[in-house]
């Protein structure tokens, strides 16, 4: 698998799309992203050479179904979680629905990584999939962003460099992609540990209880006020306590 590294790039997810026209499987990393982005078109801010800016891309030679495509996000989250737990075994890390990884600090849970998965289609057929990952490594100061309270490995007392994370992260991704979508979903849902948690939804009133996860990535919520059910997914913003 080829690996391309850049000093400065608009976004590793953007550039890897061009490479997948000539490569079947590829990793792109950068020392800085000028236009890094997260879920729902939010910006991903990071300092120069401070963090890991990473994308894994795979070209699909055969048709893939919806659950296979959804599982790429689960794979990205699981791969990051396993990497961080290996680097810092004395620190607690948690997956947070739908695509973040948090670390436990003396001041509570704080975001340390985010995953952004994008698929390219030609008509109804998916041609390629990209797992974009950002991990805060050595950054110690962060811009203020609503609803985000970040940390980094350095702030957690873990000293390492972003380039040392690339090979083990790629290995984790490859390992999880060898599993079936149902196996990936089971591991992700077990690590997520959200069922029965009390949730607030950004565009809904009241309190909700997480009742069921689906292999499509959807989360079923039960209203504690009305008893009605709704579904949320990757496009929705929810909040809940990780403990």
What pLDDT, on the 0 to 100 scale, is given for residue 90? 97
Q: Is the pLDDT of residue 173 over 50?
A: yes
Q: What is the rounded distance in angstroms from the CA atom of residue 137 to the CA atom of residue 19?
A: 26
Closest CA to 139 of 57, 52, 10: 52
Q: Which residues of 172-202 are buried (b: 16+ CB within 10 A; e: fewer)?
A: bbeebbebebeebbebbbebbebeebebebe
What pLDDT, on the 0 to 100 scale, is given for residue 36? 58
Instruction: Grade residue 48 by pLDDT with cuts at 50, 70 and 90.
Output: confident
Q: Of residues 168 and 9, which shows the higher confidence score?
A: 168
pTM over 0.75: yes
Q: Is the pLDDT of residue 73 over 90?
A: yes
Q: What is the rounded distance in angstroms from the CA atom of residue 232 to the CA atom of residue 218?
A: 6
Q: What is the CA radius of gyration of the chain?
A: 18
Residue 112: strand, helix, or coil: strand
Rounded to the nearest integer, the mean pLDDT of the chain is 93
What pLDDT, on the 0 to 100 scale, is given for residue 234? 87
What pLDDT, on the 0 to 100 scale, is given for residue 16? 94
Q: Is the pLDDT of residue 40 over 50?
A: no
Q: Is the pLDDT of residue 217 over 70?
A: yes
Residue 150: strand, helix, or coil: strand
């Amino acid at each position: 698998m080829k690996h391309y590294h850049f000093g400065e790039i608009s976004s590793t997810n953007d550039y890897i799309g061009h490479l997948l026209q000539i490569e079947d499987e590829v990793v792109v990393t950068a020392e800085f992203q000028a236009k890094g982005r997260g879920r729902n078109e939010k910006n991903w801010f990071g300092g120069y050479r401070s963090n890991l800016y990473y994308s894994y891309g795979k070209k699909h030679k055969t048709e893939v179904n919806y659950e296979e495509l959804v599982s790429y996000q689960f794979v990205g989250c699981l791969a990051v979680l396993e990497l961080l737990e290996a680097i810092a075994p004395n620190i607690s890390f948690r997956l947070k629905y739908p695509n973040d990884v948090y670390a436990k600090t003396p001041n509570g849970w704080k975001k340390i990584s985010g995953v952004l998965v994008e698929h390219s289609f030609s008509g109804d057929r998916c041609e390629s999939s990209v797992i974009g990952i950002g991990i805060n490594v050595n950054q110690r100061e962060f811009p203020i962003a609503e609803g985000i309270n970040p940390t980094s490995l350095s702030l957690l007392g873990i000293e390492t460099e972003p380039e040392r994370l690339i090979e083990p992260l790629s290995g984790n991704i490859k390992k999880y992609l060898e599993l079936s979508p149902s196996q990936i979903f089971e591991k992700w849902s077990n690590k997520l540990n959200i069922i029965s948690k009390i949730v607030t939804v950004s565009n809904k009133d009241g309190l909700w209880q997480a009742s069921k996860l689906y292999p499509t990535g959807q989360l079923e919520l039960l209203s504690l006020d009305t008893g009605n059910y709704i579904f949320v997914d990757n496009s929705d913003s929810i909040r809940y306590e990780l403990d």
